[in-house]
Structure 1
Amino acid sequence: MRERLCSKVGCAREAVTTLTYDYGDQMAAVGPLGGGDDPHAHDLCAIHTDRMSVPKGWVVVRHETLRV
């Protein structure tokens, strides 16, 4: 499988999460890497995931994978 890179311009790090937005609900969701076929999803590396910010009044939902 091909390595997926961070969507941020100029970043060449490996992506670890996928970010999606719901403008109607003013919500951003961050979770494990998605399927890769959604043009509205953005893959982020660990650094950009940690630095991510959303507009004032928006909610961020973070989906984590379970570790057994």
Structure 2
Amino acid sequence: MRARLCSKVGCAREAVTTLTYDYPDQMAALGPLGLEANPHAHDLCAIHTERLSVPKGWTVVRHETLRA
């Protein structure tokens, strides 16, 4: 299986999260890397995940995986 790369232009790092937007509800959902690439989602590396910002008034929902 080939690693997926970050969706940010010019970034060649491996993606670790998947970001989706819900425009009507002004919400961004950030979670673990999806099982497969989705043309309506954005895969992000660790650096771009940490730097994520959304428009003023929007909510970010972060879905974390449980660690044992």
Q: Common fold, TM-score beyond 0.5?
A: yes
Give runs of ≥4 in structure 1 deviating > 6 Å: none
> What number of residue pairs does the alignment pair up?
68
Residue type at the aligned position of 1:15: A
**Aligned-pair distance for 1:37?**
3.9
**Aligned-pair distance for 1:39?**
1.1
Calculate percent identity across the aligned residue pairs: 84
For 1:56, the equivalent position in structure 2 comes to: 56
For 1:4, the equivalent position in structure 2 comes to: 4
**Aligned-pair distance for 1:48?**
0.3
Matched, 1:13 2:13: yes
Q: Secondary structure at the match of 2:50?
A: helix
Matched, 1:67 2:67: yes
Deviations 1:10-62 (A, max 9, x none): 00000000000000110000000013242110000000001111011000000
Q: 2:22 and 2:13 mapped to 1: Cα distance?
A: 26
Q: 2:39 and 2:56 mapped to 1: Cα distance?
A: 24
Q: Taking structure 2 as the reference length, what is the TM-score of the superposition?
A: 0.95
Q: Structure 1 unaligned runs (5+)?
A: none
Q: 1:39 and 1:9 mapped to 2: Cα distance?
A: 15
Q: Structure 2 unaligned runs (5+)?
A: none
